[in-house]
Homo-oligomer: A and B are copies of this chain.
Amino acid sequence: MSNARSVQKILLTGAAGRIGTYLRERLGARFDFSGIDRRPVDGLDSTVANLTDHDAVLGAMQGIDTVVHLAAEPRHTPDIWWDVLLPDNIVATANVFEAARQAGVGRVVFFSSMHVVGMYERDEPWSSIANGDYGDLDPTDVPLVTHEAPARPDGPYAASKIFGESLGRYYAEEFGMTVICIRLGTMGGDDKPGPDARSRVSWLSRRDLATMVERCIDVPGIGYDIFYGASANTWKIYDTPRAWRVLEYQPQDDAEDFRT
């Protein structure tokens, strides 16, 4: 089958980080990647700049079809404070959306986090699932937290991500851009779920990440949407299956298969 489309140009913010590296490894043959990061990125055409530098962000956006906005302070513990979150999560994200608009970039895939709804994990039945106290729970009967449930951030980091999601919705509705938010779960450094029960809910394997992002880049017909990013884990708190239906893909992995 011939493919008449030219190869899409994808800008990865935070390209030097783990997720940027996984995406380049797995999707490098399909897309023309470039990057922007504070650090140089081996083997990638990239801009070395802080995302608080709006001009640098705008420069990196030229000719780009889709921005995958990964760059952020990723630590979500309550001690990570505004001195870090303001520049790295708030200002950087405001710059990314505005520069994308200015440069005519049609699509932004914004990496948010399950932490924006993390407080649901203190309520039942989700608390028991997060703690591995399964008792008589049937995983197929658990009510799932949807993408439209009111945000319940579990810390300042999560509030900074809600800001990004909300600002993205404005850019989508006001300027006709496609903005897709991925509420990312947990990615183990060894591509396996952690030993804790919450990882059995939140784990996302590298290949399932790659497929999800590929679909977020390709899927037509979306103005703004939010999807939870996890593998096909048996135990769920969030409505991950909606992503598989709307984005039309099937994740391959299940954290339950790694239980020892």
A→B interface (CB under 8 Å): 78, 82, 86, 90-91, 94, 116, 119, 122, 148, 150-156, 158-160, 162-163, 166-167, 169-170, 173-174
* A and B contact pairs by CB, cutoff 8 A, 12 listed: A82-B94, A86-B90, A119-B169, A122-B173, A148-B150, A153-B167, A153-B169, A153-B170, A156-B170, A159-B170, A162-B162, A162-B163
Q: Specify which chain B residues have a CB less than 8 angstroms from the CB of A86 in the assembled complex.
A: 86, 90-91
Q: Specify which chain B residues have a CB less than 8 angstroms from the CB of A152 in the assembled complex.
A: 169-170, 173
Q: Which of B116, B150, B159, B170 sits near A154, CB closer than 8 Å?
A: B170
Q: Specify which chain B residues have a CB less than 8 angstroms from the CB of A156 in the assembled complex.
A: 94, 167, 170
Q: Specify which chain B residues have a CB less than 8 angstroms from the CB of A153 in the assembled complex.
A: 166-167, 169-170
**Best-buried of A78, A90, A151, A166 by chain B (most CB within 10 Å):** A166
Task: Enumerate the 3 nearest inter-chain pairs by beta-carbon distance, A residue then B residue, closest first.
Answer: A162-B166, A159-B167, A163-B163
Query: Roughly how many angstroms separate A170 CA and B163 CA in the complex, as a whole number?
Result: 14
A78-B174, A119-B170 are known; give 18 further A-B pairs, CB within 8 A.
A82-B94, A116-B166, A119-B174, A151-B166, A152-B173, A153-B167, A153-B170, A155-B170, A155-B174, A156-B167, A158-B166, A159-B163, A159-B166, A159-B167, A159-B170, A162-B166, A163-B163, A163-B166
Query: Roughly how many angstroms separate A78 CA and B116 CA in the complex, as a whole number?
Result: 26
| CB of A16, distance to nearest CB on chain B (Å) | 25
| CB of A40, distance to nearest CB on chain B (Å) | 28
Q: Specify which chain B residues have a CB less than 8 angstroms from the CB of A148 in the assembled complex.
A: 150
